[in-house]
Structure 1
Amino acid sequence: MKCIILAAGYATRLYPLTKNTAKPLLKVAGKTIMNHIMEKVEEVDVIDEIFIVTNDKFYASFQNWANDFQSKKTVHVINDQTTTNDNRLGAIADIQYVLDQAEITDDLMVLAGDNLFEFQLKDFEHFYRKVNADCITTHELDDEAEIKSTGVIEIDGENKVTSFEEKPQNPKSNLAVPPIYIYQEKTIPLIKQYINEGNNPDAPGNFIPWLIQHKSVHAFKFEGMRYDIGTLESYQKVQNLF
């Protein structure tokens, strides 16, 4: 299994903090958000290579970070060649960029570089093996404002996803979906098909409602907190909690 960590955004909502520092390289409780995420990835034995996709502005920063990070796995930093928020590729297009550059054909774990979470990725990978299908993660979220700013799903009794909406005005459930996914190797070509059909290449969750029309997707329901760091307020909240 390969792992792609999405870190090519410009985090303009966090200015001035992120004007010269990539959001995943901001520190929470004395270590970078990326370090928090990587410690969980390190525990997934089946992952042998990690690809951090970033932009030209922060490429050198991530290279420096990777040089200092002691990993049991091979870590690559990929430059998607974009330079501003206006010419960014979007998360799904960034995934495809890495797939093309690295010629990935294995199973794939995809993570956002700005989400902190308490559950173990190795438990998610075990669930993936058990259901033998593409998998997303989900947790119960009862804050009305927060649930409207994330992906929301409905599932059946087998944890199969039956509907998915990105940032719905009228959520059909309280099951929120963070950008933490595992795709089967046979699903990899479908990402390019999704893009070629003219679908939205931006938020990674946009791929899921399209995918459930083509394949079964299961949801791993986790306990514990998940923090999406998108604004100065949310960053401060996470700093206080940690």
Structure 2
Amino acid sequence: MQHSTTCAIVLAGGYATRLYPLTLNKPKPLLPVAGKPIIDYVIDLIRQVNPDTTVISTNKRFKPEFDTWATTTPIKVKVVAEETLREEEKPGAVKALHQLLQQYTGYDTYIVIGGDNLMTLNLKEMLELHKRTGSPVIAAYTLKDTREASRYGVIESTINGTITTLVEKPKLPKSNLIATCCYILPAHTPKLLQEYLEKGGKPDAPGYFIEWLVKKTRTLAYKFKGTWFDIGTPEAYLKANLTLITHSISPKAEVSSSEAVESIVEEKAKLNKSLIVSSYIGHSTAVENSTVKRSVILPKAKVEDSTVSNSIIGENSVIKAHRLKKAYLPDHTKIGT
């Protein structure tokens, strides 16, 4: 029996302007959530199916960061960059995908996943559904609040999962079932993308291509339960961290006269006379004589004589004698110094 070939594409070419200031100097997929980069969760999904090729599609500005990250991955990945350095130069995610796939034709199956997807999903089962039916398959998630669905592609489907309608960002959603950026697509996807663009399809959000695809060919919704986060804002990023944090203190952390409750404290972090509750403390971060609650402090930061709650503090920041609440600070912020 001939081997069926699979190419996994991770979309990581955006500039995540809605997450500013956290992503001014770092791509969103490399932001840590509960101790590991968002894209590592995507790689965990991809490893379920062991594709022949895995490609990270990014931009010229952030390619060096992804190249460095790629040296740490458990599977071999290829980092490919579009020639852009800022948001205004982007060709759009769909057009960038089309251009990329011109280099990766000839595969039987394409798996396309957003590099900021954080979800619990049985990708192997989803792939088997595609192979069994030959149809494109979209990972679909049920939101608790239908009103939130207007920000996404809203799905209506039959009892057997066939998508009857998919409307991208409707003003009045008819369903709380949405399409996430996780697709399994057939061998002729490069030609489909070309046809879509030639007919005037929007080149930016991939959801518009999927909306067009649903009208053209039978497409299935793979409904999954569990965790899914749309990390589009600092508030959502903080929420994802707080949801996934499990208590873990590295044996290489230094904890003196301090207490850490339901928190992650990474290696080489130093806690002195401090209380840490439901928070993430990055590696080589120092917290002294401070209280930190429901917050994320990224690596190599320093917090002294301060109270921090519901906040994010960027790498290499220094906070002294200050009270922070619902603050989202970029890397290298200095307060009270």
Same fold flag (TM > 0.5):
yes
Q: Matches of 2:134 and 2:103 in 1, distance apart?
A: 27
Does 1:48 find its partner at 2:52? yes
Structure 2 contact 102–190 (Cα < 8 Å) conserved = no
User: Which structure: larger Rg?
Assistant: 2
Q: Matches of 2:171 and 2:152 in 1, distance apart?
A: 10
Superposed, 1:48-87 pairs within 5 Å as 48-71=52-75, 74-87=76-89
Aligned to 2:131: 129
1:207 to 198, 209, 219: 209
Q: Matches of 1:195 and 1:230 in 2, distance apart?
A: 26
Q: Matches of 2:106 and 2:54 in 1, distance apart?
A: 11
The amino acid that maps onto 1:54 is T
Structure 2 contact 92–205 (Cα < 8 Å) conserved = yes
Aligned to 2:240: 238
- CA-to-aligned-CA distance 1:41-74 (integer Å, 9 cap, x gap): 01113x1111110011101100111022221xx4
Higher RCO (CA 8 Å, separation ≥ 6 residues): 1
Aligned to 1:150: 152
Higher helix share: 1
Q: Secondary structure at the match of 1:147?
A: helix
Structure 1 contact 151–177 (Cα < 8 Å) conserved = yes
2:116 to 102, 114, 117: 114
What's the CA shift for 1:199?
A: 1.0
Q: Matches of 1:156 and 1:5 in 2, distance apart?
A: 29
Superposed, 1:162-177 pairs within 5 Å as 162-177=164-179
Q: 1:237 to 1:104 in 2, by over 3 A?
A: farther
Aligned to 2:37: 32
For the aligned residues, what is the CA RMSD? 1.3
- CA-to-aligned-CA distance 1:203-227 (integer Å, 9 cap, x gap): 1111112112221111111111210
What's the CA shift for 1:187?
A: 3.4
The amino acid that maps onto 2:189 is T
Q: Matches of 1:104 and 1:22 in 2, distance apart?
A: 30
What's the CA shift for 1:103?
A: 3.5
The amino acid that maps onto 2:228 is R
The amino acid that maps onto 1:53 is S
What's the CA shift for 1:101?
A: 2.7
TM-score normalised according to structure 2 size:
0.69
Q: Matches of 2:180 and 2:148 in 1, distance apart?
A: 12
Q: Matches of 2:126 and 2:104 in 1, distance apart?
A: 24
Q: Which stretches in structure 2 are left out of the alignment for 5+ residues?
A: 1-5, 245-337
Structure 2 contact 17–23 (Cα < 8 Å) conserved = yes
Superposed, 1:84-95 pairs within 5 Å as 84-95=86-97
Q: Matches of 2:18 and 2:141 in 1, distance apart?
A: 25
Aligned to 1:179: 181
- CA-to-aligned-CA distance 1:109-135 (integer Å, 9 cap, x gap): 000011100122112112222322111
Indicate the percent of aligned positions where both proteins have the same amino acid.
38
Aligned length: 239
1:223 to 216, 222, 225: 225
The amino acid that maps onto 1:64 is T
What's the CA shift for 1:31?
A: 0.5
Q: Matches of 2:64 and 2:106 in 1, distance apart?
A: 24
Aligned to 1:23: 28
Higher strand share: 2
Q: Secondary structure at the match of 2:103?
A: helix
Q: Matches of 1:188 and 1:100 in 2, distance apart?
A: 7
TM-score normalised according to structure 1 size:
0.95
